[in-house]
Structure 1
Amino acid sequence: MKKLPAHDFLDKHGIPYEVKTFSAETEKGAANVAAALGFRERQMIKTLIFETGEGEQLLVMVGADQHIKSGKLKKAAGSRNIKMASPEKVLEVTGYRIGSIPPFCWQPEGFRTIIEASLLEEEILGVGAGEWGNEILINPEQLVKASKAVPFDIVQPAE
């Protein structure tokens, strides 16, 4: 198994997790990771980087089958103007390319992270380990601890 910075971070902080791998040929997207690993889409997390009108970047975590409601995210972020960061900005801010951004191990002090509150009801969640084909399985409480995420209701209600 290849050790990645995300694994080292969790080990250093004594946070339990499991490593899963899938084919690097798998089409990008958390829903495809869920299918490859045999999990429900809700359990595989999209780690998204947003920028506020004030120039702050935020990490936002939602399930692969969830869609962010703009008004709820603006309220959670405390900004009326918020947009997805460009791929170039994501790489500059995180050091990772879109597709396998770990939600911990790279953030400077004070970097804000938001997690969709309903995800805390899941038994296990999967997050990117920083390299496509590698996934970290972690329980929601440990994910919140590792990422310093604040839970908010930010998604559209399920139909």
Structure 2
Amino acid sequence: MTPAIDALKKAKVEFTIHEYHHEPGCDSYGLEAAEKLGLQLEQVFKTLVVQLDGKQLVVAIIPVASKLSMKLIAKAANAKKAVMANADDVQRSTGYKLGGVSPIAQKKALKTYIDISAENHPQIYVSGGQRGLDIELAPEQLQQMTKAQVSPLTSELKS
């Protein structure tokens, strides 16, 4: 089990584990999860770690087919600037490998923001803490487990 699954069990949160075979050459982990599990892209969320104003790390949870707006995450966090965090910093801070970063039970509890679109679904899917493992749970449960703030975080992707 992963720290995320252990934490959910301990908190007696209702959730479902979904496993799939991760292809090592795949570089879009969230899209791979949606495809392999036969899910709508809007319901599968990716966990991104960003650095604010060159210092603080925060977590953004957004739909896998969406692009994180650095302006919107900075605004939500009352920061001037946001950039994607360095991969080594992400792994050191969360305790999870890239592609398997769960928003739940990270080594260091980071301030977390969930895209407002999560509220459109009774259940959403997030990483369970390793590649090939997703957790299905209610957005309210995720918000409670991560003490997250719900905010608009994405800019529309141009086709």
Regarding TM over 0.5, the answer is: yes
Summarize the alignment of residues 10-159 of structure 1 with structure 2, pairs less than 5 Å apart. 10-25=8-23, 27-28=26-27, 29-53=29-53, 55-108=55-108, 111-157=110-156
Once residues 42 and 17 of structure 2 are traced to their aligned partners in structure 1, the CA distance between those partners, rounded to angstroms, is 18
Could you list the runs of 5+ residues in structure 2 that have no partner in the other structure? none
- The residue matched to 1:49 in structure 2 has which SS? strand
1:93-127 CA-to-partner distances (Å, cap 9, x unmatched) read 11111101111112545x31000011111121111
- The change in CA–CA distance for 1:54 and 1:78 in structure 2 (over 3 A counts) is farther
Once residues 68 and 119 of structure 1 are traced to their aligned partners in structure 2, the CA distance between those partners, rounded to angstroms, is 14
Once residues 156 and 30 of structure 2 are traced to their aligned partners in structure 1, the CA distance between those partners, rounded to angstroms, is 19
Aligned residues: 156
State percent identity of aligned pairs.
24
Once residues 97 and 108 of structure 1 are traced to their aligned partners in structure 2, the CA distance between those partners, rounded to angstroms, is 14
Once residues 89 and 15 of structure 1 are traced to their aligned partners in structure 2, the CA distance between those partners, rounded to angstroms, is 29
Q: Which runs of 4+ in 1 moved over 2 A?
A: 24-28
- The residue matched to 1:47 in structure 2 has which SS? strand
- The residue matched to 2:155 in structure 1 has which SS? coil
More strand by share: 2
- The residue matched to 1:118 in structure 2 has which SS? helix
Aligned-pair RMSD on alpha carbons?
Answer: 1.6
